[in-house]
Homo-oligomer: A and B are copies of this chain.
């Protein structure tokens, strides 16, 4: 394989230069972008193996850039953030960042993270089916089976279940779920979620009163887990 191609999106020319030197010295191809907008368009044209994104961008908020790139970009994204940005980092991870570093950071650590991210083989979310515990979701036929028995789900229930199953083990926030299923205009309609989660539980849980598959994370969201 060729030398991996890394796209650096950072508005600070100093940092950009430093990163370029460091990364090239470690055997990577490097491309640069100074703004979020530029970054998005370059990423689209060169398809880098990894994106290094500084969250403190001037034109678009780094989070927005992240979300936008993530819509079609599957390779790892490593974000840089200032030390104080606790919240920011959590948001970034929610928005699809694979890893993060806080500035100031050590060069060795940066390189190690980059290596580790690149090594990780693309899982690629294009599976024809998802199986988790007793549940099997055929994404092509759009059929869900529980212990081999076909479940009757409405379109919304199905979309929600697929979203959960694709993110097994991790907490999905109310916001995220609402945005993905109903759209960004529904961020405060958490009641929808409660209703649909209850319906799903009624159909997939052994004992809907003591849910084990879709677990509540109070004040945060829900977590889908199967197989302990």
Contact = CB atoms under 8 A, between A and B. Distances in A.
A89 B139 CA distance: 10
Contacts of A96: 83
A170 interface: yes
A128 B104 contact: no
Given A86-B180, A104-B72, A93 B155 contact: no
A171 interface: yes
A89 B159 CA distance: 12
Contacts of A38: none
Contacts of A140: 93, 170
A220 interface: yes
Interface in A94-149: 96-100, 102, 104-106, 109, 112-113, 116, 121-122, 124, 126-128, 139-143
Contacts of A106: 74-75, 121-122
A169 interface: yes
A139 B86 CA distance: 12
Contacts of A128: 93, 97-100
A219 interface: yes
A141 B170 contact: yes
Interface string A50-93: 00000000000000000000111111000000010010011001
Interface in A168-217: 169-171, 180, 217
A26 interface: no
A124 B113 CA distance: 7
A116 B126 contact: yes
A171 B141 contact: yes
Contacts of A93: 128, 139-140
